[in-house]
Structure 1
Amino acid sequence: MVTRTGTQSVEPNVADAVNSWLKKYKIDYKLEQESLNSEIDKALEEYHSKSGGRGGNRPDAKALLVDKCLKKWPILIEYKGYKDKLIKLDADGRIANQKADNTPNYQNIKAYAVNGAVHYANAVLHYTSYTDVIAIGVTGSKDNNGKLITEIGVYYVSKSNLGFGQEVGTYSDLSFLKAENFDAFVEKVTNLHLSDEELQKNKEKREAEIDKSLTKLNNDIYTEEKGLGENDRVYLVAASIIATLGVPDKVAPLEKDDLKCSSENGATDGNIMVRKIKAFLNEKALPEGKKELIIRTLQNTLENDNINKVENGETQLKRVFCKIVDDLGIYYKIGLTTDFTGKLFNEMYRWLGFSQDKLNDVVLTPAYVAQLLVKLARVNKDSYVWDFATGSAGLLVAAMNEMLLDAKNSINSPEALLQKELHIKSQQLLGLEILPSVYMLAILNMILMGDGSSNILNKDSLKDYTGEYGFSSTVSKYPADAFVLNPPYSAEGNGMIFVEKALSMMKKGYAAIIIQGSSGTGKATGFNKRILARNALLASIKMPADLFVGKSSVQTYVYVFRVNEAHQKDDVVKFIDFSNDGYTRTNRKKASCNLRDTDNAKERYQELVDLVRYGKSKLQYFTEKEYYEGHIDPQNGADWNQSAPVDTRPTLADFKKTIGDYLAWEVSNILKSGTEDESLGK
């Protein structure tokens, strides 16, 4: 049974052609057709109602096919009766389903067959457990002889391409869906791949959408849901996401309909969510102490009487849960490798009453800066990375991504790669965060990454931490050899106290920190001298003044160290003025993008990494005025922020210019004097 889901008006012959193909090739449900049909229908209805019908009717036909490995493939078919309405692409060749401001382009979704099919394929990714969907668009028109000419667009929409879709191939009919042809078609689909550049562009596009969705979600909850403090909002987002993740074949994701808005003791919406979260954490085999801490933290908010009170047939908890799933579900379902919860918390700053000092303490490190620190700390697949003020774990997310990429590029055995990935996530990352609400975001971030949360600790790294692994082992010392940090600048030495402690506990490796610039010019002299007694400063990098525009107003520097090697007075330090990093930043709330690459930003960031590691030979975008190799006094501690010396000696060109300017002045005076004499003579 192939289901017709739409009722839109199209060229009758197109509809007849599609239906005849479906009938001819016996394209039908293979397994559990009614229940699976219902699941997909429900997802399509969610997207249809979410758009208010602006995306047109639901797909005209759908099917669920099964390949030789018994994998189920949802097939969505949309057709239009107009020759030029097959597909609309953007400037980058992607399906043009988003406007410049990253909101849905319902006009294109409604008007073009492939665009509509891809839009509803994302509904399946968003609201079901399927991760791979085939979206098909068909258009048709008659030629001068009255013969129907059809065009078909076939796209693979998947978690792997972040829901944007990839063209599979050119087809003249739907026979590729026929049972005897389908496995060959699936093989073609599974061999598709995106280049690293294409995948990065897709990721950046999705991340821009996330920013828009987070703004909307936070605004909705802040203005419409009374009685929820900022910590409550953090915990509700974390709880909702964890509850909807599920574990294949073991824990079903929590659905909207599972929340019954009951006031019965033990059966409230909060009780249901807590049970689902417990089931999820049990299957993830988290350490018992960490699992209990997560549940205890979330339970206080989830089982609060006010949030579970039934009014007009609905609880506040269910309303908030539905908002979170609708606005954010697609992004964590497709597995974006981004500091997802860090973005969320950064958005919440708009509503929090932080003083300027406190705001400077908790600001999120931009993803591209986090990646820079990770590269400067020379992180690879064998690194053991830690962060003593981990925040939402953005730096650890960046480190994990770098480690996993290095493992993928250097390990050829699939089994060995899998074991290495598991080891990286469970054993090679450690973070400490003292604020409970921020700690919960760090936990969620690493769970979403799949799961690096084993050694994220809710501890004061200065007072309570002595170097152990944490939950996975409270005896073994963590063998850190890479340290990354964006500390709270209100701490002693503008945060250098964290650097001193972490480096004192390391036996080897590298460290890269971003910190307030005054820490290198006198605000942390004592800390700096003690740090240099056993660690070498390799580079001092002046960052753009507007790096944290709209969130913090401090001038920051990045300092790079080689660990456990005392700094000598003759050691070369690379001083780099990175004020022009290639990005232009704005702070406009309604702007479609507040960060634009206007001067080879990506290339400049890579050159910066190369300059720190290899030196002057890597100069290309930067000048010698921006790159300077000099020295510091290990006993000074306040001479870390140097710039290239200005040569004040006059050159031959300066002399010629001065003489030229003087002669021009003399000639001007002579001419002026001559003109005045002539005037007097008259």
Structure 2
Amino acid sequence: MAKKEAQTDIWVHELLKSAQITLSYQGSDISDLDKALKTASKADTGKVGKPEFIGVVKDFVLVIENKAETSQHASRDKDGNLLEDTASKQAYALNGALHYARHIIKHTSYRKVFAIGVSGDEKRHLITPIFIDDSLYSRELPNVETFVSFNEANIDYYYHREVLKETSAEEKTTAEILKDAKTLHEMLWKGGLTNQGKPLVVSGILLALREESFKGFSVDDLTGDTIKSDGQKIYDAIKANLMRADVSPETKRDKILAKFAVIRDTPKINYKDPKTQRTLLREYTEFLRTSIHGSIRYAQSADDYLGMFYGEFMSYSGEDGQSLGIILTPKHITELFCDLISLKPTDRVLDPCCGTAGFLIAAMHSMLKQTDDEVEQRAIRKKRLMGIELQDYMFTIATTNMILRGDGKSNLHNFDFLAEPASKIQKDMPCTVGMMNPPYSQGSKEDPDKYEIAFTEHLLDSLCEDARAVVIIPQSAVTGKTTKEKEIKKNILKKHTLEGVITLNTNTFYGVGTNPCIAIFTAHVPHPPQKKCKFINFEDDGFVVAKHVGLVDNGTATDRKQHLLDVWHGRTESESKFCVETTIEAEDEWLHSFYYFNDEIPSEEDFRKTMADYLTFQFNMITHGRGYLFDNEK
């Protein structure tokens, strides 16, 4: 047992190292903690106590107790409370960790302690945190897979979210943006604008407001003049800003301007109300300037703010974009894409169905964070982000989105990705990374080229050799429900390599009713027959649905994501209920649920419980005259 416990200690040490946390082993070099441990014996003898790991992160103490077997994780009474007798504290990880935490609170100046019980090994384990404060009140928190939530960068957020149950700053920002979107939608509705026109008016005004710093535009200029309307003034400011942003060629700039003509040519929003002496355009501009333009720092964020507005406008209009197959991708997924394929500053990224440019924004944010070289950063903005969008109004929104972030814009294109030969895209836009959320539910037996898996094949064909591709598609796309989809899956494996598929939270696209998954490929490398792919069940991703806000982090998302990335990149093992590694066939359903079988060895406690349940059932049957059910002869 001592050898197995030593192996657990080594594994926990590696977990801490991976999370960038430094703790002392079986002692402490912090005088306050060292003094307390000299009387912290779990036997309550007043002698020395030696937790496996202990230390301080910011103003929190972390104390960890390990046991080699998950059966030694926790000892509880019939009500589920942790027992505090000597035997329980000595034999069980969580009970021991709680003992040390309370002792530290009593005998040191530290007021906040996370006691963490760890049992098992890298593949099968339990990691349970408990928070204890100076009142000796303890709160058991949900199990975690890593210690990343407790490092210096994350521990305050974890404390406020999990212990204090406070709304995160990010969630407040999202809620405020959605509240503004609702207010703005009601204002836009008064102008009689179409669903497509609403986000165009918003994005156009935001572009015009950029001209304020160049003295080329002012809200005070919007006087409702009948000779030069407010819409014309905003339109002129948009044109100036597009030229200042160096959007080229001229044909592209003209195409974008044509979509913004809705601002100039819609009479109702240019009409000056006799009572207020203001146009609706002036009201929109004032609202955006006060509520949005001055408060959103586009360049420093991976958030797709215009995408949020677009989604909200569609929902308030009784639509969600699904008639066109448009499903906007949440920020935590666009960021996850970058991490799954280890995006580098030197990569060239293609999104052939870019929508409002969510993936390109996340990619740019990730790439820029990895380098301080201004020449490299300029190259990222101008040469390494490429997007294609079929819908011209979405293309305009995407272009605006990138302009607001200081992007080069020269690599966004408005054409039909599927209609363009893969060889031409590969030549004109040679890319090492592909990211895509294709239109959903547009394919049929009559039009099989619009199946999501067909979009995926065309993306793979369009990338450079050895490029990485990551797509988010419905689970049905990788099961091959039609003959044509099965053929496409075979073709993909003939030319490209499937690395794995990750099953996602069913609420990822909240309100849409799509069960998504992420599929990762290597392009132009035929799939080796003995290649082992990873199939992961990531339904428990730490995100839940919050009323009036949508999908939010419940406090465990950082931990869940870190565990996913550790497993995906081969840094840690996991149970088969989370990840299955296996060879595949084209005919298989490329999902974790297809390959998973329960290989977990039941614990002695599980065995005893099952036997007790069976004997209780047998006794009940016999007492009710049905003992014949257990008669082997009959």
User: Where on the TM-score scale, by shorter chain, does this alignment land: which range?
Assistant: 0.5 to 0.7
Q: Which residue of 1 aligns with 2:194?
A: 229
Does the CA-based 8 Å contact 1:377-1:484 persist in structure 2? no
Aligned to 2:515: 555
Structure 2 residue 245 is the aligned partner of structure 1 residue 293: no
Aligned to 1:302: 264
Native 8 Å contact 2:321 2:327 kept in 1: no
Alignment of 1:521-536 (within 5 A): 521-523=479-481, 524-536=485-497
CA drift of 1:228 comes to 1.4
Q: 1:413-492 maps to which residues of 2 (within 5 A)?
A: 417-464=373-420, 477-492=428-443
1:397 to 361, 372, 387: 361
Aligned residue identity for 1:602: T
TM-score calculated relative to the size of structure 2: 0.65
Q: Does 2:484 align with 1:517?
A: no
Note the 1:321-400 alignment, pairs <5 A: 321-332=285-296, 335-337=299-301, 338-354=303-319, 357-358=322-323, 361-400=325-364
**In structure 2, the residue corresponding to 1:577 is in which secondary structure?**
strand
Partner Cα separation in structure 2 for residue 667 and residue 294 of structure 1: 78
Structure 1 residue 341, shift from structure 2 partner: 0.6
Change in Cα spacing, 1:639 to 1:315, as seen in structure 2 (3 Å) is closer
Shift of 1:322: 2.3
Partner Cα distance (1:295, 1:303) in 2: 12
Q: Secondary structure at the match of 1:628?
A: strand
> Which residue of structure 2 aligns with residue 541 of structure 1?
502
Is contact 1:538–1:573 with CA below 8 Å preserved after alignment? yes
- By how many angstroms is 1:256 displaced? 1.5
Q: What is the CA-CA distance between 1:203 and the residue it aligns to?
A: 5.2
Equivalent in the alignment of 1:106: none
Distance 1:577 1:331 in 2: 38
Q: 2:231 aligns with which of 270, 276, 279?
A: 270
Cα offset, 1:504, TM superposition:
0.6
Counterpart residue number, 1:602? 558
CA drift at 1:439? 1.4
**SS class of match (1:614):** coil
Q: What SS does the aligned partner of 1:235 have?
A: helix
Extract unaligned runs of 5+ from structure 1.
1-91, 94-193, 409-416, 470-474, 674-682
The match for 1:36 is none
Q: Which has the higher contact order (CA 8 A, sep 6+)?
A: 2
Cα–Cα, structure 1 residues 650 and 385, in superposed 2: closer, same or farther, change >3 Å?
closer
Distance in 1 (alpha carbons) for counterparts of 2:419 and 2:597: 42
Contact (CA 8 Å) 1:520, 1:638: kept in 2 or not?
Answer: yes
Q: Deviations over 1:496-544 (max 9, x none)?
A: 2221111112222211111010111123212211111121111111111
Shift in alpha-carbon separation, 1:429–1:468, aligned structure 2, 3 A:
farther
Alpha-carbon distance in 2 for matches of 1:374, 1:648:
32
Q: For residue 500 of structure 1, what is the aligned residue in structure 2?
A: 457
Does the 8 Å contact 1:236/1:302 carry over to 2?
no
Question: Residues 537-576 of structure 1, C-alpha deviation per residue, up to 9 Å, x if partnerless?
Answer: 11111111122222x1011111111222111221101111
Task: Give the conservation status (yes or no) of the 8 Å contact 2:506–2:516.
Answer: yes
CA deviation after TM superposition for structure 1 residue 643, in Å: 3.9
How many equivalent residue pairs?
Answer: 452
- Label 1:669 to 1:628 Cα distance change in 2 as closer, same or farther (>3 A): closer
**Structure 1 position 625, deviation (Å):** 1.3
- Match status 1:583 vs 2:543: yes
The one-letter code of the counterpart of 2:306 is T
Q: Conserved in 2, the CA contact under 8 Å of 1:541 and 1:557?
A: yes
- Pick closer, same or farther for the CA change 1:268–1:467 going to 2, 3 Å: farther
Q: One-letter code of the match for 2:431?
A: A
Question: 2:271 is aligned with what amino acid?
Answer: K
Structure 1 letter corresponding to 2:468? Y
- Structure 2 residue identity aligned to 1:486: N
The one-letter code matched in structure 1 to 2:583 is H
In structure 2, the residue matched to 1:219 is: 186
1:667 Cα deviation (Å)? Answer: 6.7
Which amino acid letter does the alignment assign opposite residue 453 of structure 1?
A: K
Distance in 2, Cα, partners of 1:444 & 1:197: 36
Per the TM alignment, residue 255 of structure 1 is displaced from its structure 2 partner at its CA by 2.1
- Kindly state the Cα deviation for residue 491 of structure 1 after the two structures are TM-superposed: 3.3
TM-score (norm 1): 0.60
AA of the residue aligned to 2:531: D
CA deviations 1:96-128 (Å, max 9, x no partner) are xxxxxxxxxxxxxxxxxxxxxxxxxxxxxxxxx
Give the conservation status (yes or no) of the 8 Å contact 1:378–1:510: no
Residues of 2 paired with 1:334 and 1:638: CA distance?
A: 40
Deviation at 1:356, TM superposition (A): 8.4
1:255 to 204, 218, 242: 218
Using the TM superposition, give the Cα deviation of residue 445 of structure 1 relative to its aligned residue in structure 2, in angstroms. Answer: 1.0
Q: Match for residue 572 of structure 1?
A: 532
Matches within 5 A, 1:8-157: none
**Which residue does the alignment assign to 1:174?**
none
Instruction: State the one-letter code of the partner of 1:290.
Output: K
Match of 1:644 in 2: 596
How far apart are the structure 1 equivalents of 2:615 and 2:233?
A: 90
Kindly indicate whether the alpha-carbon contact (under 8 Å) linking 2:184 and 2:284 is maintained by their aligned counterparts in 1.
Answer: no
Question: C-alpha root-mean-square deviation of aligned residues, in Å?
Answer: 3.3
CA contact (8 A) 1:577 1:643 kept: no
Question: Gaps (5+ residues) in structure 2?
Answer: 1-57, 60-151, 159-167, 444-449, 626-634
